[in-house]
């Protein structure tokens, strides 16, 4: 019996900068004093008492009358209880067409007459004495109507030294008289040239004697003096970094701060009193037009955006009429319309988000390099654990960049392998994948399930192994199933849901309807699905799900019944040897199979290991949170004995019968695997199998065989398949196949495991992968991944994409084994579920804080990532601690915790989350639901203003596990609350969504899509945390 062959998963599943002081060799002198920075307000001040403190989009009327403009009555701000109207808020947008129209309409009819008079009066000589240096005198002069004054050098007869009027035809290039300096010996003139009156200047250098302009050109200079050294070899000046959003924010910050020093700020109640009365205390005596500069909310906060321009987010319609009542609490759901995947409006929203995201990704300069490197490293042969049926061996293999893994068959281990099934031939783009398969006991037939676009729905087909002919059998509407062959190879058991009613959505994978009324069927090879035998259903419990397996002796059919994702199940059995007419006798639907109830309650999990006639051996967590092996005789179902008792610390992960009277068991010890050979009858330990620190990816064994195949991986081991022979006295572990990645050198990296105290003191294991001899100076980009739910353990595994991150971007990669998972058994799982779900978030936040305090990274360089339940984790943590992270990647997350149970298989997750239909559980969910807890952090903590990290929500159009509506609704909510509902929002970090087409929850995704997505999300991460590429 093949145990746990795992082939699925994800691809591997700025502070404010002050002006800088520079010294440039050669030329400059600063004799002119620096003019203090003072904001100059030229905008019309219609109502000095109005300022914007609210965060609502203004609405306005169109121009209808010449020389008049519309007032808006909806823009009203609240200043410490005082209502202040700002009817002309719309005039703050200089790019708006109606503002331009307004400006044009202000042109006075007497303009030409005034122009003529003023021009006549302006035409007079203007001279200003400026300075003397060396034995020369310098001054500015204008003959009357010249565009700019000219500095003249006087030594006897005056002569022009520099004439700015020659620098442009319209006189808009001027000499900034406050950025001009002559060297002490009057050898050089350094001067700043400004265009169109901007504060930005370009400094040039002229040799005074011959008036030759040197090649020196100094750009991005602002607010500077020029100070020459007395030897005339060079000068000091101040500048900003090369322009990007950082410069804009720093300049904005400087203007705001200088303005606040002079005027005060209306955000503070006392200072609001000053400005509303147009006066300040004695040291602050200037009148102020409210919003004459910027409100304090335009200050940069949190991590700075890496984008050059602010994003133009699409505006999503809000339906404020959708309000739900949860036990007396009113909850709005304005984006309920995004739950309909077939609506044109939803498709338009998705397309707008796709366009927005692509515009951001185009600015990520590491995107192509990541794509190239990941593709190169991914292009290596991969093999998976072989398994035996009849006298044949089967295994999966990928040559490197094939979209889907290919199934091979060989007559013996030394024989020539042949392709049995190549899923790459089912579609041109590789989006049809192999979801499940089962080979009959005699290796005569292969039954396999095909999934389209990553959907959970599959279609089962049947192939004759010997001649590779595909039979006509087609089994539809199958989901969440195993395939169990009867030992006569006449047919197999499978599970399915009822077919959709006529008129319902038939695009399997995009529907959102709840999956109810699972049923167990048997299909006979060579017949139509309509003739299949209904073996079990339970109309009274529509949420129950069924799985079936045939025992190794072929005698019993075991029925496993679950109602959710809790590790608990019922177990029924049916003695098929007692059927006088075989299963054919049940054709026609006369009755269900006569199952006998062995376990009829949901208080523990049971997994069959082996049986000797009526004596069954199970792996269970019954009264054993870390699991144990037990035995029961069907003749005495009330008498159970322990074969392998529960360990005090280690978690018993799996057990498989092998070589007649033995079993191979795997334990998890502090998130590292331990393998043992034990006696099947007594449970006594026979051998420890040597294995490195890492993970067991699959164990292939049968009770009738003495050979076991074991798959292994670790952070620095791409993959090893061990072959273990149990016929010898001491098991012989040898390498059967080893996967190598060209260009990967494990000696470049180091792996550490630490145990981080969480908020309540619980020690949380965390693996840290980094370059060797890393300096803990807080300078490194860091990627932290976690899951924390459904009893699932995250163990070490090799990742091509994260290896590229570590090697070429200097990133530190970490996995936190937070509560909610299965790393320490069922108690660890329960400690992070239901009412205690917050423990997951606390653990993850504590792990993040550790990485900062230990010197691995700093908040602005820390990226967090998770998928599915881990996507929920990311959504909750950026809500609770937006200041702690620089970037967030949330894959296919459960984001609407009040409605998740209404869609597809969401009702099965209530075992981990709870359900909003219950009052107490609603109280748990509303506290952390990502969709319902988006807040503006600058309002929540004004004393330490911050913003959300740069965020990418990833989903897929055919994800029918966690349907896309979760990510879409959160995306619309975040963009509205943090961005589009505010003018000049402090949220400058991007909030975007990557929405994949023809893809699902993750499994079955073609290689190219895996590479594309990895390059996209990690180039986004690199740009947002400021990671630079290193070959």
| Active site members | 868, 959, 1001
Per the document, the length of the chain is: 1031
**What three-state secondary structure class fits 195?**
strand
**Alpha carbon of 964 to those of 89, 334, 800, 1001: distances in Å?**
37, 17, 27, 10
**Residues 227, 233, 238: CA angle, nearest 5 degrees:** 35
- What is the Cα–Cα distance from 457 to 472, expressed in whole angstroms? 19
**DSSP E strands, 363-518:** 382-383, 387-389, 392-398, 406-410, 418-421, 432-439, 445-452, 458-464, 469-478, 484-485, 491-496
Sole residue written with tokens 């998740």: 900
Triad 387, 388, 390: Cα angle to 5°: 160
Nearest Cα to Cα of residue 708 among 414, 388, 416, 436: 388
- Residue 686 burial (CB < 10 Å; 0-12/13-18/19+)? middle
Q: Give the residue from 698, 741, 746 showing the smallest Cα distance to 722.
A: 698
Nearest residue to 327 (alpha-carbon basis) of 896, 922, 897: 922
State the DSSP H helix or E strand holding residue 378, giving kind and residue range, or none if neither. helix 367-378
Question: For the chain, what is the largest distance between any 2 Cα atoms, rounded to a whole number of angstroms?
Answer: 129
d(CA 1004, CA 11): 11
Q: How far apart are CA 252 and CA 250, in angstroms?
A: 5
The number of CA neighbours under 13 Å toward the Cβ of 145 is 8
Residue 832 neighbours by CB under 8 Å, 6+ apart: 788, 789, 818, 819, 820, 821, 839, 840, 843
Calpha distance 440→422 (Å, rounded): 19
SS3 for 95-146 is CCHHHHHHHHHCCCCCHHHHHHHHHHHHCCCEEEEEEEECCEEEEEEECCCC
Nearest to 566 by CA among 843, 792, 823: 792
Q: In whole angstroms, what is the distance from residue 806 CA to residue 715 CA?
A: 12
The C-alpha atoms of residue 281 and residue 403 are separated, in whole angstroms, by 72
68's CB contacts (< 8 A; 6+ apart) are none
Look at residues 574, 538, 540 and name the one whose alpha carbon lies nearest to residue 555: 574
Count CA atoms within 13 Å of residue 235 on its CB side.
29
- The encoded tokens of residue 320 equal 């404020």
DSSP 833: S
Cα–Cα distance between 401 and 399 in angstroms, integer?
6
**How far apart are alpha carbons 511 and 493 in whole angstroms?**
26
3-state secondary structure labels for all residues of 779-808: CCCEEEECCCCCCCCCCCCCCHHHHHHHHH
Q: What span, in angstroms and rounded, lies between the C-alpha atoms of 322 and 644?
A: 56
Q: Are 380 and 740 in contact (CB under 8 A)?
A: yes
């Amino acid at each position: 019996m093949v145990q746990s062959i795992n082939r699925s998963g994800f691809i591997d599943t700025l502070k404010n900068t002050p002006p800088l002081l520079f010294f440039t060799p050669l030329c400059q002198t600063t004799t002119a004093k620096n003019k203090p920075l003072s904001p100059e307000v030229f905008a019309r001040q219609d109502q000095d008492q109005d300022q914007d403190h609210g965060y609502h989009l203004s609405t306005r009327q169109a121009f209808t009358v010449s020389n008049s403009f519309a007032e808006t009555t909806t823009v009203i701000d609240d200043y410490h209880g005082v209502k202040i109207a700002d009817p002309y808020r719309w005039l703050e947008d200089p790019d708006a067409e109606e503002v331009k129209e307004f400006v044009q309409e202000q042109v006075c009819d007497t303009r030409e007459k005034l122009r003529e008079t003023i021009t006549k009066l302006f035409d007079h000589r203007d001279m200003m004495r400026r300075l003397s240096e060396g034995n020369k005198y310098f001054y500015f002069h204008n003959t009357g109507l010249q565009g700019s004054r000219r500095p003249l050098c006087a030594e006897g007869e005056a002569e022009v030294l520099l004439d700015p009027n020659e620098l442009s035809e319209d006189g808009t290039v001027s000499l900034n008289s406050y950025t001009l300096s002559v060297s002490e010996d009057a050898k050089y003139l350094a001067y700043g040239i400004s265009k169109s009156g901007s504060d930005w200047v370009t400094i040039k250098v002229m040799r005074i004697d011959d008036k030759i302009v040197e090649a020196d050109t100094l750009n991005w200079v602002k607010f500077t003096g020029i100070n020459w050294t007395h030897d005339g070899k060079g000068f000091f000046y101040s500048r900003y970094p090369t322009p990007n959003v950082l410069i804009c924010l720093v300049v904005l910050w400087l203007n705001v701060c200088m303005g606040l020093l002079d005027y005060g700020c209306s955000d503070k109640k006392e200072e609001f009193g000053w400005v509303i009365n147009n006066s300040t205390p004695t040291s602050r005596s200037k009148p102020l037009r409210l919003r004459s500069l910027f409100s304090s909310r335009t200050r940069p906060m949190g991590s700075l955006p890496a984008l050059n321009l602010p994003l133009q987010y699409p505006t999503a319609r809000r339906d404020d009429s959708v309000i739900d009542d949860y036990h007396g609490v009113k909850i709005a759901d304005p984006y309920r319309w995004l739950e309909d995947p077939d609506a044109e409006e939803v498709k338009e929203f998705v397309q707008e988000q796709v366009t927005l995201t692509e515009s951001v990704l185009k600015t990520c300069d590491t995107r192509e390099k990541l794509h190239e490197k990941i593709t190169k490293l991914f292009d290596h042969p991969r093999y998976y654990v072989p398994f035996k049926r009849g006298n044949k061996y089967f295994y999966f293999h990928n040559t490197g960049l094939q979209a889907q893994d290919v199934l091979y068959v060989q007559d013996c281990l030394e024989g020539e392998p042949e392709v049995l099934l190549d899923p790459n031939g089912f579609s041109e783009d590789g989006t049809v994948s192999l979801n499940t398969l089962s080979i009959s006991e005699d290796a005569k037939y292969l039954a396999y399930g095909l999934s389209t676009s990553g959907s959970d729905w599959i279609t089962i087909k049947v192939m004759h192994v010997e001649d590779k002919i595909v039979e006509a059998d087609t089994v539809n509407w199958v989901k969440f199933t195993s395939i169990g062959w009867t030992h006569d190879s006449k047919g197999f058991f499978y599970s399915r849901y009822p077919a959709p009613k006529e008129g319902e959505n038939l695009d399997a994978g995009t529907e959102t309807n709840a999956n109810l009324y699972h049923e167990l069927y048997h299909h006979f090879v060579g017949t139509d699905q309509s003739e299949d035998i209904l073996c079990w259903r339970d109309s009274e419990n529509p949420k129950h799900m069924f799985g079936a397996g045939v025992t190794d002796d072929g005698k019993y059919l075991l029925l496993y019944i679950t109602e959710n994702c809790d590790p608990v199940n019922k177990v029924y059995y049916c003695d098929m040897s007692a059927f006088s007419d075989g299963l054919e006798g049940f054709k026609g639907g006369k009755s269900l199979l006569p199952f006998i109830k062995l376990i009829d309650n949901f208080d523990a999990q049971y997994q069959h290991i082996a049986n000797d006639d009526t004596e069954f051996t199970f792996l269970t967590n019954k009264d054993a949170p870390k699991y144990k092996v037990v035995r029961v005789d069907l003749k005495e179902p009330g008498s159970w004995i322990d074969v392998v008792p529960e360990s005090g610390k280690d978690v018993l992960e799996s057990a498989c019968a092998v070589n007649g009277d033995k079993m191979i068991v795997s334990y998890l010890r502090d998130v590292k695997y331990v393998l043992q050979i034990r006696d099947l009858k007594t449970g006594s330990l026979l051998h420890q199998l040597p294995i490195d620190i890492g993970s067991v990816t699959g164990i292939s064994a049968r009770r009738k065989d003495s050979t076991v195949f074991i798959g292994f991986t670790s952070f620095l081991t791409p993959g090893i398949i061990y072959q273990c022979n149990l016929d010898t006295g001491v098991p012989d572990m040898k390498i059967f196949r080893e996967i190598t990645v060209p260009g990967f050198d494990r000696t470049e990296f180091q792996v550490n495991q630490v145990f981080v105290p969480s908020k309540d003191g619980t020690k949380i294991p965390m693996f840290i992968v980094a370059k060797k001899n890393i300096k803990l100076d807080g300078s490194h980009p860091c990627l932290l991944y976690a899951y924390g739910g459904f009893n699932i353990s995250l163990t070490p595994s090799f990742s091509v994409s994260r290896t590229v991150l570590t090697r070429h971007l200097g990133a530190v990669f970490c996995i936190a084994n937070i509560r909610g998972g299965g790393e320490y058994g069922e108690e660890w799982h329960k400690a992070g579920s239901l009412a205690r779900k917050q423990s997951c978030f606390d653990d993850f936040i504590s792990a993040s804080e550790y990485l900062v305090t230990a010197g691995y990274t700093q908040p602005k360089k820390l990226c967090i990532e998770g998928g599915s339940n881990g996507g929920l984790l990311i959504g909750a943590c950026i809500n609770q601690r937006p200041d702690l992270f620089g970037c967030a990647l949330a894959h296919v997350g459960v984001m609407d915790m009040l409605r998740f149970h209404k869609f597809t298989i969401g009702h099965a997750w209530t075992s981990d989350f709870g359900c909003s239909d219950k009052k107490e559980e609603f109280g748990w969910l509303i506290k952390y639901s990502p969709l319902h807890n988006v807040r503006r952090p600058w309002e929540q903590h004004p004393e330490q203003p911050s913003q959300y990290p740069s965020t990418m929500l990833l989903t897929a159009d055919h994800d029918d596990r966690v349907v896309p509506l979760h990510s879409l609704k959160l995306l619309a909510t975040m963009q509205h609350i943090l961005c589009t509902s505010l003018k000049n929002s402090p949220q400058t970090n991007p909030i975007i969504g990557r929405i994949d087409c023809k893809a699902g929850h993750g499994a079955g995704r073609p290689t190219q899509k895996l590479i594309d997505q990895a390059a996209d999300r990690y180039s986004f991460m690199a740009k947002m945390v400021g990671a630079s590429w290193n070959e």
